[in-house]
Amino acid sequence: MFNAQKSSGYEGGKGSATTIIAHGVKVEGEFTSQSDVLIEGEVHGSFSTIGMLTVGSDAKIKADVKAGSAVVSGTIEGNVIVSKHLDIKSTAKIMGDVTTETVMIESGAVLSGRMTVGVKPTGATATVSVESPRGRVNGRERVPVLASET
Amino acid sequence: MNQAFAYIYDDFLSDRRFERELSILETELARRGIEGQVARLAMFRSARETIIDLACAGTKNIVFVGNDKTVEKMMWFLPDVDVTVGFIPLTQPAHIGTLFGIPMGLAAVDILAARLVEKIDVGKLDDRYFLTEVIVPATVASLEVEGQYRVSPAMGGAIAIRNLGSVAGKIPVPADAKDGWLEAIIQTRVNSDRWLAPSSLDETVIRLKHGSIISKEPIDVFMDGHTVNGFSFKLSIVPNKLKVITGKVVR
């Protein structure tokens, strides 16, 4: 019986504690998680986790996103709210408003929307207007951590 | 004879080549004071009735002697019987023994004698219990999680819903059977960017307490050695449902 299963495409597995949405997988609806989440596939709807969110470079998210902290290398179309630290990598594209306590943006990242940085997302104290051109944020090539601009 | 113990021998153990091994095993069980009534599985004998009769007669520990398939034959009904389950794997496949920390052969008697009992979760597919995992091979089916969202392999893939772990491969893969969650694994084949490079296997991993497997076409679903066919299957977890004699703390 199990031979039949193996020849039909299932090959045991590795086992993991983190929630992973891999390449070639699409999630539709209201996704909520209590754990760290790695997204390499597609997410449509809404997304929320209290843990760490990692968005891979090929990931496509069309959803409002809430996370405890996040590292974004892929594409997000929707508003992003991060309770702690947001790390935006050079390959990232975010089309939507971003609210976070602290942020690091690498050169090459594309951001389109309002960025609010400082304290917790409910009471932000710094606002950075962000529009493309690619790789430039407020005319600077690289934006350092903006934790305490008030 | 210890009335608290009973032993269920799989029917393949009727073969003469197992006579000596069973004789040594029974001698060792008697030496430890945990020998008990022996029942043999057979084609036209109901395993369920045999076990229920033993439980009604006061047997507290029912020990399966055979291999993974022996345990799998019982799992669809066993969690509803008030007994503690033991396992003596004598032949391969013995992955379930490995996941319970039970060695093959005579060494398993040490585990039985120590009688470390743990309560573990069991999964449910519709009204049927499963111990290890549910597998939907090479499917375009979707997994609906707790009525909130749907996960679909875009180009097809295999779906596994694990409780105790995977016994489908050469090496058993453990899952946490004491956390009150099922672990869904969706395997998709991803082509490499490089020309002629082999495709790789990606795994989506999601935890759920209940959900459904949904397909537009009828699909075969494998669970603990049984096959069921249909369009839609409900999944759930029943925490702390099965008492098992284990050789280590089950994850």
pLDDT for the residue numbered B138? 74
Residue A142 covered by a domain: no
Residue A99 covered by a domain: yes
DSSP summary character for residue B197: P
Looking at beta carbons, which residues of chain B come within 8 Å of A22?
186, 188, 190, 202-204
Residues 44 through 83 of chain B touching chain A, CB cutoff 8 Å: 69
Residue A40 covered by a domain: yes
Residue A37 covered by a domain: yes
Is A41 or A15 the better-scoring residue by pLDDT? A41
Query: From chain A, which residues contact B within 8 Å (Cβ)?
Result: 1-2, 4-6, 8-16, 18-32, 35, 40-42, 45
Q: Does residue B188 sit at the A interface (CB-CB below 8 Å)?
A: yes
Residue A150 covered by a domain: no
Work out the pLDDT band at B220, boundaries 50, 70, 90: very high
The CATH number of B5-115 is which of 2.60.40.10, 3.40.50.10330, 3.40.50.300, 3.30.870.10? 3.40.50.10330
CA-to-CA distance for B88 and B73, rounded, in angstroms? 15
Instruction: Check if the interface score ipTM surpasses 0.85.
Output: no
**CATH architecture designation of domain B124-239:** Sandwich (2.60)
> By CA distance, what is A16's nearest residue in B?
B205
Mean pLDDT, residues A115-142 = 58
Q: Where are the domains of chain B?
A: 5-115, 124-239
**Do B5-115 and B124-239 agree at the fold level?**
no
CA-to-CA distance for A43 and B100, rounded, in angstroms? 37
Q: Which of B166, B169, B202 sits opposite A22 (nearest CB)?
A: B202
* Structural domain boundaries, residue A47: 29-130
Looking at beta carbons, which residues of chain B come within 8 Å of A45?
149
**Beta carbons of B173 and A29 less than 8 Å apart:** no
Residue A50 covered by a domain: yes
The CA-based angle A119-A121-A126, given to 5 degrees, is: 55
Residue with tokens 């097809």: B156
CA-to-CA distance for B138 and B201, rounded, in angstroms? 13
**Beta carbons of A18 and B205 less than 8 Å apart:** yes
pLDDT for the residue numbered A63? 96
Chain B closest-CA separation from residue A137 CA (Å): 31
The number of angstroms, rounded, from the C-alpha of B31 to the middle of its chain's C-alpha atoms is 30
Looking at beta carbons, which residues of chain B come within 8 Å of A32?
148
> How many folded domains does chain A comprise?
1
Question: pLDDT per residue over B193-214, tens digit each?
Answer: 555 555 566 899 999 999 999 9
Mean pLDDT, residues B91-120 = 94
Residue A72 covered by a domain: yes
Is A78 or B42 the better-scoring residue by pLDDT? A78
Residue A103 covered by a domain: yes
Let me know how long chain B is.
251
Looking at beta carbons, which residues of chain B come within 8 Å of A39?
none
Looking at beta carbons, which residues of chain A come within 8 Å of B203?
13-14, 16, 20, 22
Q: Which two tokens stand for residue A143?
A: 């934006």
